[in-house]
Structure 1
Amino acid sequence: MCGSSAALRIIFSVSFMVIFFGGGLCEARMHVNVDIINDIGPNVQLGLHCKSKNKDLGTQYLAPQQHWGFRANLNVWETTLYFCRFRWGSQSQWFDILIANRDQKTCEHHPCVWSIRPNGPCRLTGHEECFPWN
């Protein structure tokens, strides 16, 4: 009797892991589109380098008012984080451009649009909200 009980527990555990990790929740994983706009000023090029713990998106250069963006899959624990280093003139600043538990609901159905300004980034999606540099 003890052997069959242990076997049932193993079957249940394996089935749960297959459903949980093999597609059940992973397929329902949400994504967010991030769009970054250079609003530093006229005639000022913006350099930026964005990455997460596991993914480096490389260096980009934006002319004034130019956009660049990326798509990020959010993990089920809502701990996804992307940060960017911004450089213009002699300035260098960084900011957490995507924090899952901050941005997920606001950017669920629309891209998370960020206006990068000298005083800090402003999220334009939803109601405009400006943040200080990190």
Structure 2
Amino acid sequence: MGCSNFKNTLLFLFITANLVHAPFASYLEIKKKCFLTSNVTVQVTNMLSVNGPLLLHCRSKDDDLGIKTIGQNQKFRWTFCTNIWHTTKFWCTFQFGQKNRVIVAYEETVKEFCKDNQCYWSARDDGIYLFDTEYYDWQ
């Protein structure tokens, strides 16, 4: 009898925890709110004509997004809140075969060229583009 009560209590706690957590968690995932700052999305697309992976490593002072392998015509995107001092900066290392380049993927000076807080970068054979404008050459 005691074991059955214990199992029922555990089951009750498990169900209650999920009922309380689930609506709150889904609310957080629906819309990331930025308090007094902007919500920005950066996307990088591999538009190289050669079927080889693009290695991408993006980071800021506070966040390291890790090394990503992006296949041909595939994308990597992330969203973040800028800081209140307008000093948020993300830079990315692009590597493809023997070519590589470090770029500033986001900061206030780049923001001017983004549209509605959306910055779309693409790696192409002749360089790295922000939207349809070549912004960086390969090194």
Q: Give the TM-score normalised by the residue count of structure 2.
A: 0.67
Q: Which amino acid aligns with 1:50?
A: C
CA contact (8 A) 1:34 1:69 kept: yes
Let me know the Cα RMSD of the aligned residues. 2.0
Q: 2:41 aligns with which of 29, 33, 38?
A: 33
- Describe the SS at the equivalent of 2:136: coil
**CA-to-partner distance for each residue in 1:18-70, whole Å, 9 max, x for gaps?**
xxxxxxxx712111101110012231210010000111000100111100111
Name whichever of 95-104 and 39-48 sits farther off. 95-104
- Describe the SS at the equivalent of 1:101: helix
Deviation above 2 Å: which 4+ runs of structure 1? 104-109
Distance in 2, matches of 1:105 and 1:62, equals: 24
Q: Does structure 1 residue 45 correspond to structure 2 residue 53?
A: yes
Aligned length: 105
Distance in 2, matches of 1:104 and 1:31, equals: 15
The structure with more radius of gyration: 2
Q: Does structure 1 residue 115 correspond to structure 2 residue 122?
A: yes
Q: Give the TM-score normalised by the residue count of structure 1.
A: 0.69
TM-superposed deviation, 1:132: 1.8
Structure 2 residue ranges without an equivalent (≥5): 1-33
In the other structure, the counterpart of 2:90 is 82
Identity %: 26
Distance in 2, matches of 1:96 and 1:106, equals: 13
Structure 1 residue ranges without an equivalent (≥5): 1-25
